Structure 1
């Protein structure tokens, strides 16, 4: 088999890259280790920057997003028993859109199927080779038979645990990482959200977040120990603890219900650079991870593949500037998002090692943040997304 671009990974990053390349007349084949149902079963974020929505528009897969997505012009910060709204629309003229990552993936899958584009699911023993020369290849086993895909370029969109980044010689990579001492216990339920906008809460018992996926489906999170286990949390225990971490008005309005899904996600900041190695490009979680506090993971992946799609299209039109500068351009945006996600995480969570002094510093910074238009604008600019 032969194609121009081999994409490893059929998550939203790989699928969006495939859709953008198809619109540019560039042929791409996707190879994915998991089944379509497994990919769709991943419960992930759902806050989209306008830049991400614009890329989905460009890919021709945004009709349902515009019909069902929820536009949010701000968020609320809860601390000291009171809530304070950060007005994104008023401060920046921009908003974010709440639309689940699962739905983004479904729309991209449906569009790829409708266009008859090739995706190899349930590919075993995926390997990449030859990307340091002129003949890159992706190899895998399908139904016991060896398969080989020859290509001009490989896009590694296969996530943090994928095969592409580990295929790069360790001497060529520089890795930066911080692992946090806590995680997020998340619960998804079929109940109306407690608020029409997200509520981030800094509380003496720990961080909590009230979010949603739709007007009838809610997603809630609690800061928990990194070694905690889902089995220790009944639904009732989760709801009781969430109420303790909310201000009384919100706690009284909370509508509870049985969990559709419950899981614990560890928090880490991670960057591997550079993001290009010859004819192999890393994108999304394959190259970087951010704590979910700033809602940047999916949006960073989208901006990576937006830049990569443009660079590859330019290459086939005779211009290699985008390919040569891909890593540098991505990493500038990545590090800014890493900084914001680290800062927002540090501001909203409880760090036992900082003691009472650290908690007082958080309260002072939160008080300044909601009292200063300049500080509120800085948060809003980063949350809605910096320019691509």
Structure 2
């Protein structure tokens, strides 16, 4: 019997929405309707822009959608399997070569002999623009590119680089990434914060999976960054503020008395997690996108109480750590493990399990 997991559950629910779009707009196949679904949900495109971008059909030359800016072109291929059993398949070499073929005809000096009106329209527009950047985006509710597909694309990209000097970038948005985007869209809010720090250095990194920084900041600067978003910044923190327990009283006492200069040594500090961290070293400010405090709720709330009483000392500094990853499952694990140093009651877990909102369940 076929196992049922997260990807299978999401497939069934996305299939329902995609099928509805297919019937509503008369799309010829699920993948074309899936393109509409993705561009509307995650690119936030209007119906008119979606209609102009999707060129899938006879004469599309292997490209399903095109987004054109002043100096760059995004080329999309979309795939939504007809059967759930196919969601673990990889994007094959044939599919990758279709993208290559489309690029070659789109950038050719000669007008393509076989192309639909939408393709010709983009070909003409590109011909009269100064385009320096192309990106191939494979959006597929399947696995990643196969090894053969990767090899074919790498060979093609090298040849383009040698001939034109231009880089072609590749992005794959697989079933896991699509589920992450859905999970993220279901959060109550997306918080961007600007954190002033005293020191911040690169720390342990895992390439495209996760990066991190560590350092310290003043309590005042941490509160300045966090207080405006206090109602949502702890969304991913599974341990809520526990009130007047001894550790919180200790935080408040240290931050407001002559021991304040030792605060850094007495407390664990704050761990932020975010989709992206931009570090401006000139003015010592980190810009965190889709940020959450996953460890340090007790500290921030206690320090705010001290601040509100105007007894927060100027020399209160605390350790900070920033983790950058847009992998939703990894974020959930980091949140859980950072809050498991001591026993966590079941009541601390606040809707971290996957749930579809009405937007996704109909």
Q: Calculate the TM-score normalised by the size of structure 1.
A: 0.22
**Whose RCO is larger (CA < 8 A, sep 6+)?**
1
Which structure dedicates a bigger proportion of its chain to strand? 1
Which of these two proteins has the greater Rg computed from alpha carbons?
2
